[in-house]
Amino acid sequence: MIELISILCSLAICILTPIEMTRIRAGWVAKKFGGDRERFLAAYSKQLSMLASVGVMFGALNLLLALIEANPGERVVKFVAAAIWFVAAGISHASRRGLPMSNLNA
């Protein structure tokens, strides 16, 4: 059950991050954010960095768990979960690089 939740969360990151990036490139700023656009972009950049780090960490953790798993069916699920988390990390990293900021110091 935990693997299913992990897979669903990583798939949500893979789907929602490009959608939000499209909105941000069009000039969108979250209504809850109290600062200007530059501060929003810096905060979003930090969020994407955190998502990339978490994706690599969970991907590596799932790979390690797959290697010590005794049941062959569970191995496949853990390998798939690891692959999806690595894809989520890649999407987050690529999105961070694609932010419309000239001075990305975050």
Q: Let me know if residue 72 belongs to a domain.
A: yes
- Percent of the chain predicted with pLDDT > 90: 69
Amino acid (1-letter code) at residue 79:
F
Give the structural domain span for 78: 2-26+43-97
pLDDT band (50, 70, 90) for residue 34: confident
pLDDT band (50, 70, 90) for residue 106: very low
Q: Let me know if residue 106 belongs to a domain.
A: no
Q: Let me know if residue 18 belongs to a domain.
A: yes
Count how many domains the chain has. Answer: 1
* Position 104 pLDDT exceeds 90: no
State the pLDDT at residue 105. 54
Q: Let me know if residue 37 belongs to a domain.
A: no
SS3 readout for the chain: CHHHHHHHHHHHHHHHHHHHHHHHHCCCCCCCCCCCHHHHHHHHHHHHHHHHHHHHHHHHHHHHHHHHCCCHHHHHHHHHHHHHHHHHHHHHHHHHHCCCCCCCCC
pLDDT band (50, 70, 90) for residue 96: very high
Q: Let me know if residue 31 belongs to a domain.
A: no
Region 10-14: what's the mean pLDDT? 96
State the pLDDT at residue 100. 80
State the pLDDT at residue 72. 81
- pTM of the full structure: 0.87
Q: Let me know if residue 8 belongs to a domain.
A: yes
Q: Which residues contact 40 (CB under 8 A, 6 or more apart)?
A: 29, 30, 33
Q: Let me know if residue 102 belongs to a domain.
A: no
Q: Let me know if residue 60 belongs to a domain.
A: yes
